[in-house]
Amino acid sequence: MARPSLGEDSLSLDVIARAALRIIDSEGADALNFRRLGKELGVAHMTVYRRLAEYKVPLDGCVLDYLVGTIPQLPTDATWADATEARFTALYELIVAHPGLVAMRRGGPWL
């Protein structure tokens, strides 16, 4: 599905991460590269590469930072047991929603 072309100024980390997630979800983690991401965003692959270099963030880190931001905040009075259950439940829900993330991490840390 073609996406509208984005100007370089509109390439925020969230925009890049959401496009990367669409690719991972529809084609798998191995399909994610700068050329494919540039095509999804309607820009040259080097535009995406330079934008991530400006932020000093690797591509997989950009996606994970975006996803971690979607995890609900814990109440300050949560017990350790409730907090642990909430975090693991949120991680489980992320993996179920985006199973390609498991292949993308390739044994790296999650949180």
The Cα 90–Cα 86 span in angstroms is: 6
All residues at 6 or more sequence positions from 14 whose CB lies less than 8 Å from its CB, including other chains? 66
pLDDT in the model for residue 19: 93
Statement: residue 2 has pLDDT above 50: no
pLDDT in the model for residue 105: 67
- How big is the chain, counted in residues? 111
More confident residue, 20 or 55: 20
The Cα 9–Cα 30 span in angstroms is: 27
**Average pLDDT of every residue of the chain:** 83
pLDDT digits (tens, 9 = 90+) for 13-27: 889 999 999 998 899
pLDDT digits (tens, 9 = 90+) for 63-96: 878 887 888 888 899 999 999 999 899 989 988 9
> What six digits make up the tokens of 79?
């017990």
